[in-house]
Amino acid sequence: MPSRIRIDVVTVTCLAAGLSFALAGCQPMTPKTSATAALGTATHPAAKFTAAKPGAGTHSPYANSGMPTIAGNGVVRASFQSPGEGPMPEKVTTATVAPTPMASVPRELTKVILPDYRIEPPDIIQIDAIHIAPKAPYRLRAFDTLVVTVPAALPDAPISAAYTIEPGGMIDFGAPYGRVRVLNMTVEEADAAIEKHLAEQLNDPKASVSLGDIAAKQQISGQHLVGMDGKVTLGSYGKVQVVGMTVAEAKLAIERHLSQTLEQPEVSVDVFAFNSKVFYIITQGAGQGDGVARFPVTGNDTVLDAISLINGLAPTSSTRIWVARPGRDFSGCHQILPVDWYMITQCGDTQTNYQLLPGDRVYVAEDRLMSIDTWLGKALAPWERIFGFVSLGTSTVSSVTFFKEQGQRGFGGF
């Protein structure tokens, strides 16, 4: 009986909290009657999270709900249930939170421009080679391209095109000229080798030979993953350290590295995949396991955008939401930003629709009734199995006894 009364009291408390949310509706919020509005002006030098008690401080729809609230003295207060404590927690986790001027926190209508992006693993950067010219003397390699023009070539078999050096180091001019080996030669040496080969079929075969493109350009251009060591690999040109750099700084670092083997190289650099700057959405699972989702920061994300990425609130979730910002403020306090879900969605209020920054955690608390139901299910499941086994055993014994008696008396009682 005491257990039954205890559960009924919890149920009535939850229903009363829901009723207070419904009554709050879309009424105008003032610093005297709203926790979130008071947060906009709270500058208390020692704001702390403590257990919110009924009737303490100003009235708020978040009272007794575990959400941060504002007391009459401007202290931010909230209680957190530790994992595994069940629906009736005996302990309350106390933490210090930020007394930062909330008016300076970026919101939906007062967004800020994020600082220059710093490259970190595992970002992917796009590098395009604009000007790649090797330093002299350059030795020809496979897949390099030579532009060859021979004015004295046969009319039906002209030689005036770009020819790619084959893996064996040969250039194929086709019939009737055949192939010429130019691997590891300079452009001047290749010119002489081509003229010597064509002299067998042409009179005075003066050739004009120039370097069209180098195969190493393909190793530079493309998408490059920033490795765990903070470097990108440029094929035969080695690795370049780019971690912690902006795009402009990475461009200079890559060009400086390539200048060791290339003549005044020029490349363009951009971030192809922003993988290192993310925010998290943590959904409390009402005893069924918490969910964590990871999304890249675009610089324009808000709390409402974040919730839309997980297709809204789950059946096990409540509307108790807050943003936990990593690190501490100038006074050494935690940075906790409460979210008023009803005001954002039903009234279009942007006061707590904060702009999300890299590393933010959007925490969605569980529905307490669902948590109680899960807890009861876990507590009663073993007993249900025991009682089911006992019931099955009793039924089996009764059936065996019945058929045994029937067999002694004969079927049909004869």
281 and 175, same structural domain?
no
Beta-bridged to residue 160, according to DSSP, are 149
Cβ atoms 163, 213 nearer than 8 A:
no
The pTM of the full predicted model, rounded to 2 decimals, is: 0.60
Note whether residue 387 is domain-resident: no
Q: What pLDDT sits at residue 408?
A: 67
Q: Which domain CATH number covers 199?
A: 3.30.1950.10
91 and 8, same structural domain?
yes
- Contacts of residue 73, Cβ cutoff 8 Å, sequence gap at least 6: 44, 57
pLDDT at residue 32 above 80?
Answer: no
303 and 198, same structural domain?
no
Share the mean pLDDT of the chain.
Answer: 77
Beta-bridged to residue 240, according to DSSP, are 232
104 and 10, same structural domain?
yes
221 and 190, same structural domain?
no
Q: For a pLDDT cut of 70, what percent of the chain falls above it?
A: 73
- How far is residue 235's CA from residue 217's CA, in Å, rounded to a whole number? 10
Mean pLDDT, residues 393-405 taken together? 76
pLDDT at residue 216 above 60?
Answer: yes
- 3-state DSSP call for residue 205? coil
Closest-CA residue to 321 (of 335, 347, 342, 301): 342
333 and 209, same structural domain?
no
Sign of CA dihedral 293, 298, 303, 304: negative
Mean pLDDT, residues 131-151 taken together? 88
Domain boundary among 225, 252, 273: 273
358 and 292, same structural domain?
yes
363 and 231, same structural domain?
no
Note whether residue 191 is domain-resident: yes
89 and 151, same structural domain?
no
Measured in degrees and rounded to the nearest 5, phi and psi for residue 217 equal -60, -35
- Could you tell me the pLDDT band of residue 337, with boundaries at 50, 70 and 90? very high
Cβ atoms 219, 232 nearer than 8 A:
no
pLDDT at residue 119 above 90?
Answer: yes
Mean pLDDT, residues 381-407 taken together? 76
Please state the domain count of the chain: 3
Q: What pLDDT sits at residue 289?
A: 85
Q: What totals of helices (H) and strands (E) does the chain contain, helices first?
A: 8, 19
128 and 253, same structural domain?
yes
Helical segments of 78-215, H only: 187-198
Q: Domain span at residue 200? A: 145-213
Note whether residue 386 is domain-resident: no
- How far is residue 368's CA from residue 365's CA, in Å, rounded to a whole number? 9
Q: What pLDDT sits at residue 102?
A: 62
**Could you tell me the two tokens for 167?**
């893996």
Mean pLDDT, residues 152-164 taken together? 89
Mean pLDDT, residues 184-205 taken together? 89
106 and 37, same structural domain?
yes
Q: What pLDDT sits at residue 382?
A: 80
225 and 205, same structural domain?
no
Mean pLDDT, residues 130-151 taken together? 88
Note whether residue 59 is domain-resident: yes
Helix (H) or strand (E) holding 342, with range, is: helix 341-346
Q: What pLDDT sits at residue 34?
A: 35
Closest-CA residue to 280 (of 217, 210, 185, 361): 361
Note whether residue 335 is domain-resident: yes
- How far is residue 140's CA from residue 187's CA, in Å, rounded to a whole number? 7
Q: What pLDDT sits at residue 411?
A: 53
